[in-house]
Amino acid sequence: GIQVEQSPPDLILQEGANSTLRCNFSDSVNNLQWFHQNPWGQLINLFYIPSGTKQNGRLSATTVATERYSLLYISSSQTTDSGVYFCAVDTGFQKLVFGTGTRLLVSP
Amino acid sequence: EPEVTQTPSHQVTQMGQEVILRCVPISNHLYFYWYRQILGQKVEFLVSFYNNEISEKSEIFDDQFSVERPDGSNFTLKIRSTKLEDSAMYFCASSDWQGLLSGELFFGEGSRLTVL
């Protein structure tokens, strides 16, 4: 099956810093989503981005489907950005395959 | 904003007991899913459901698991005889399939199951 790898596995930032999270996948995909799992365990939708670039406030994402990767940019990070960031992909069989996540800690 | 709702938020049960987790998907969505996340691990697909039948299931989804849409709004996951290793967060999700492109999945807040 498809492999989804995320890097870095852990990231510690000072408040206000910028960061880039990466998601590599091993096969063509029909769907790619980024999620933020907050400290309460909730999965918050960030982006639905099978290709191209999207922006939402301080967050933006780019998926280069032909090269099988996606990037999540966080600018001016805040403590509330802490948590685990997952990318998840679907190859067309109606199931998302999640990556192992990037654990982000933003300190004041 | 429409959302997926799940109940209960937390359930503690004894090994061997039956558990039913409930979900109300977003009303105009046609595809429904269950995922689970064992503590500290990644989220894993369990099953997808469309048109009142299972369309895809993982190896995890064995005979101890079943899903049902008993009425027009609820979607349930039943674990027949719980085991310690069933302890996990269970997420329900729904999507609006878009032909060749998979629709965006929206997840509920999760039901944390603890098996003692």
Q: Is B83 helix (H, G, I), strand (E, B) or coil?
A: coil
φ, ψ (nearest 5 deg) of residue B85 = -75, 0
Residue B81 carries which DSSP code?
S
Q: Residue ranges of the alpha helices (H) in chain B?
A: none
φ, ψ (nearest 5 deg) of residue B86 = -80, -5
Contacts of A98 in chain B (CB under 8 A): 42-44
pLDDT, one tens digit per residue, over B52-99 is: 999 899 999 999 999 999 887 899 999 999 999 999 999 999 998 766
Report the gap between the CA of B104 and the closest CA in chain A (Å): 6
Q: Quick check: B35 and B91 in contact, CB under 8 A?
A: yes
Any chain A CB within 8 A of the CB of B30? no
* Nearest chain B alpha carbon to A5: B42
Report the gap between the CA of B62 and the closest CA in chain A (Å): 17
* pLDDT band with cut points at 50, 70 and 90 for residue A5: very high
Do residue B48 and residue A35 have CB atoms under 8 angstroms apart? Answer: no
* Nearest chain B alpha carbon to A37: B109
Sign of CA dihedral A69, A4, A47, A16: negative
Q: Tokens for A53?
A: 């670039």
Closest CA to B108 of B1, B3, B38: B3
pLDDT, one tens digit per residue, over A40-92 is: 899 999 999 999 999 999 999 999 999 999 999 999 999 999 999 999 998 77
Query: Distance between CA atoms of A11 and A72, rounded to whole angstroms?
Result: 13
